[in-house]
Amino acid sequence: MQKKLIPLMLLIAAFITGGIFMTLDGKDAVTIASTKKSSLLAADTLNVSFQGVGGKVTSIQVTEEQQVRQGDVLMTLDPTDIDLQMAKLKTDIQQQEVKIQQAKALGDRKEDVERQALAVEAAQQALDLAQKNYDRKKALFDAQAVAQAELDTMSNQLETAKNALAQQQAGLNKLNTEIQNNVYNVELAEKQKATMEVQLQSLAVQKQRMILQAPADGKVTRIVPKIGENIGSGATVVTIESDQLYYDIYVDETQISKFKPSGKVSGYVVALKKNVEGKVRYVTAAPQYANMRMSRDKGQADVSLFLVRIDVQRTPELLPGMSVEVKTGANSH
């Protein structure tokens, strides 16, 4: 009797197993994973550092776990060296300004030029007169009306007048050259002053950067140096967890059309047992290792996945690390 019951029991078991598989059709682990996405809330982290400056830490004005607002002072460096450089540059700029004023005063010699020009004109008139006298004496000498001595005297006077004109003209030329040189010196001094002013502005920027400010609202999660320690330019000194929360989900190419940048997505927060609205920040191809390995038993090919990052507005009850579930069948808009 028992031998007859065994085949019957096997047949019943086969029917039950087949029914179960038919019931679970489309609800295997792979299929469920492709329609229901789980992720963890995370917060954007900012690694804050001093830009282009380094030095000794003189004050730390925040503590770990402290909430900060954008612009709050986090830390300061010793500005002594830069203060000394700025003081020297300010003195140099003042001295350069004095030089510029002196050079301008030397260059503004209009009266001297006019006076020297009159001297040249007078010398020219004297030369013209000496030339006329010489020409008259020469004519008389040729007519044997005057002696050689008188002609020699006129010749000497003419030569003296020529020399006097040459000297006065040289004086005028020298004066004009000095004026031109002074103009050049003024331009050069002004350029040097402008360079110093740029250097001073650069130092002022560096000094301002020695006061480290919070780049965004958030919570200080880590402070690296201690007061008195030297830190280098660009080294992370404070880590801030921003108020922007987000979570990532991976969807396949058949679901990607449901997620658009700036589109809204509803996610279920397990810990709070309620849905929260999020906004898609971006959609991008997922790394190769994230591609879904589909069931070989069902004859399905592997599917390429896409990463969707969804931003969530932070509230006191929402904390990084909470689980979020998203049904990909839900619409995003």
Residue 227: give its domain's CATH number: 2.40.50.100
289: pLDDT strictly greater than 80? no
Q: End of a domain among 208, 240, 263?
A: 208
2: pLDDT strictly greater than 80? no
Which pLDDT belongs to residue 93? 96
Answer yes or no: do 71 and 86 share one domain.
no
Which pLDDT belongs to residue 91? 96
- Place 229 in a pLDDT band, splitting at 50, 70 and 90: very high
Total number of domains in the chain: 2
Domain assignment present for residue 323? The answer is no
Q: Of 197-206, 209-218, 287-296, which gets the smallest average pLDDT?
A: 287-296
Which pLDDT belongs to residue 29? 43
Query: Residue 128 belongs to what domain range?
Result: 81-208
Chain segment 146-165, per-residue pLDDT in tens:
889 888 898 999 899 899 98
End-to-end CA, the chain: 66
Answer yes or no: do 106 and 188 share one domain.
yes
Answer yes or no: do 74 and 214 share one domain.
yes
Please answer whether residues 83 and 65 qualify as being in contact, where contact means their C-beta atoms are separated by less than 8 angstroms. Answer: no
Which pLDDT belongs to residue 140? 87
The predicted model scores a pTM of: 0.61
